[in-house]
Amino acid sequence: MTTKRSTPAVSRRSVLKSGTALAGTLAMPAILGRAASALAADTKVVKVAPEVDLKILDPIWTTATITQTHGWAIYDTLFAIDHEYKVHPQMVETYEATEDGLTHNFKLRDGLAFHDGSPVTAKDCVASIKRWGARFSEGQLMMSRAASLEPVDEKSFTLKLKEPFGPVADALGNGTQACFIMREKEASTDPFTQIKETIGSGPLMFVKEEWRPGAKVVYAKNPHYKPRSEPASGYAGGKVVHVDRVEWTVIPDQGTQASALATGELDYLTNPTADIVPQLKSTPNVQIGLLDPLGWQLHVRMNSLAKPFDNAKTRQGLQMLVESRQQDYLSATGFIGDLGKVCLDPFICGSPNETAVGTERFKTYDPAKIKALFQAGGYKGEPLVLMDPTDQPHLHLVAQVLNGHMKELGLNVDLQSMDWSTLVSRRAIKTPPPQDKGGWHIFPTAWPSATMMDPLNNPPLDSSCDGKNWFGWPCDEEMQKLRLAYLAAKKAEDRKKAIEAIQLHFFEEAPYAYAGQYFPPVAYRKDRLKGVIGMSSPVYWNMEKFAG
């Protein structure tokens, strides 16, 4: 039996209430004060409201976007992608691979130095690659083929492979699982332990003494950074910093953020909520922009170690529930029109890997089939812990809508509210509920589409059975074989067959669900800022502030 999709029981405005409406906040008292307003007008200081608070400083320990943004500010990379997803050298001066693809030689640019004044050496790069390669899927695939990775001299190092791995530069230049280069001291830290120092060699320096978690983050221009000569694009090119300081003011209420931008107390919002965008568009001197043309994918992750989601049938049931009602999530979050679209393809609509194979199952909402899958997976009515990040508006709404959908089916949902930083820490807990009160079954997140479209890059697709894959820890040896077949495919038709095989198997194992494709904007004062660029994360080079 099939059922028409219903209007979502949870609306964006009912959850966020009037506090997020710009019209209701423009008359609010200034929250930053006159001194801060004067500082916003200073052409050497950029005032930013980030989307969430920064609590975790190690961009290898977590994939949280706010920490990756922090990483792009203070660290440099060997390679990086431009706005068209093409990879370019950054710290590397020369790179060459032998014809058999087994030996890769790297030489660093002159003048690279860490913020403490010490030179960047090949030892730093080798240690950083090894730590990155232990955490991220494409790095793991590359390093599993490594025979050796060793320094040659102070500025050169060599990667020798046991078997070819074509996309070495692409892996090292990954935009969302970046191989940030750290000092050997920090890079030698166990990859599953957070580093304690934040000394990079990038264009900005983290001002640790001014860091106030929950309130303020400050970055200062690195006066000794030597940018490349190429134009800046995406994460690549010349990282020329035109300002002295970038100051993040943590403002949880989105409406207050928008008010501060409209009144000139802020220069830049990194992720304005969808329902505020139309009003911001009509606000004088405010520009709405898009950093990443492929956008993002709303994501729902299940814990494959926790009953009943240790059974693929239960995961299929949740995946079917989410996919067949994507429009509800997009409508609730406000990602409609040019801000989002229903996309049943897990490997992203508009990407080279787009294919509709196997998606027919999601075109109709069938509650009876979904209930049968939960029953077949061994679900017996036990509470299902759904983590709800209340300070991430669109993810909060995904959790709220999913909670409503699951309850409609008679599922026993334990919705637990927390901030995003708590969720990011808690999702690392493997012990499932109820044995561990901090355990979990489901959480919402989002991924850049550029990461999700590639089965080698895609961290939640990594189903290696060593328990070191991304949170949720699915174990699926067949998926790993299919990913390797995709890597080995040389011709376009072979890659197409490989991606179709991966997609069909993905729907059988259902390691995660996805709730639509969306295009988050940024908003900034066009009477003060120009040269605003970035990709999945904003960056603060190339940006110029002028007197408005």
Q: What is the pLDDT of residues 342-361, one digit of tens each?
A: 999 999 999 989 999 999 99
Instruction: Confirm whether 357 is domain-assigned.
Output: yes
The predicted pLDDT at position 37 comes to: 54
Q: Do 309 and 332 fall into the same domain? A: yes
- The CATH number that applies at residue 538 is 3.40.190.10
Beta strands, E only, 34-91: 45-49, 76-77, 79-81, 87-89
Instruction: Confirm whether 285 is domain-assigned.
Output: yes
| 151 preceded by a cis bond (ω within 30 of 0) | no
502 vs 546: CA distance, rounded Å: 50
The predicted pLDDT at position 343 comes to: 97
State how many domains the chain has. Answer: 3
pLDDT of 28 higher than 50: no
Q: What is the pLDDT of residues 60-101, one digit of tens each?
A: 998 888 999 999 999 999 999 998 889 999 999 999 999 888
Instruction: Confirm whether 492 is domain-assigned.
Output: yes
Q: Do 321 and 422 fall into the same domain? A: yes
Q: Do 332 and 458 fall into the same domain? A: yes
The predicted pLDDT at position 32 comes to: 55
The predicted pLDDT at position 305 comes to: 97
Q: Do 405 and 425 fall into the same domain? A: yes
The predicted pLDDT at position 35 comes to: 52
Which residues, in sequence order, are bridge partners of residue 415? 386
Q: Do 276 and 319 fall into the same domain? A: no
Which residue type does 301 have?
R
Instruction: Confirm whether 1 is domain-assigned.
Output: no
Q: Do 228 and 372 fall into the same domain? A: no
DSSP string, 328-377: HHHHHHT--GGGEE----TT-TTSTT---TTGGGGSS--HHHHHHHHHHT
Q: Do 24 and 130 fall into the same domain? A: no
Q: What is the pLDDT of residues 402-439, one digit of tens each?
A: 999 999 999 999 999 999 889 999 999 999 998 877 89
pLDDT of 118 higher than 70: yes
* pLDDT > 90 fraction of the chain, expressed in percent and rounded: 75
Q: Among the listed ranges 19-28, 383-392, 513-522, which one has the minimum average pLDDT value?
A: 19-28
Q: Do 206 and 177 fall into the same domain? A: no
Query: Which pLDDT band, with edges at 50, 70 and 90, does 21 fall under?
Result: very low
349 vs 453: CA distance, rounded Å: 9
131 lies in which domain range?
76-187
Instruction: Confirm whether 69 is domain-assigned.
Output: no
Q: Do 254 and 300 fall into the same domain? A: no
Q: What is the pLDDT of residues 355-408, one digit of tens each?
A: 999 999 999 999 999 999 999 999 999 999 999 999 888 999 999 999 999 999
Q: Do 55 and 159 fall into the same domain? A: no
pLDDT of 469 higher than 50: yes
Q: Do 339 and 464 fall into the same domain? A: yes
CB proximity list for 456: less than 8 A, separation 6 or greater: 137, 138, 141, 167, 483, 486, 487
Q: Do 343 and 415 fall into the same domain? A: yes
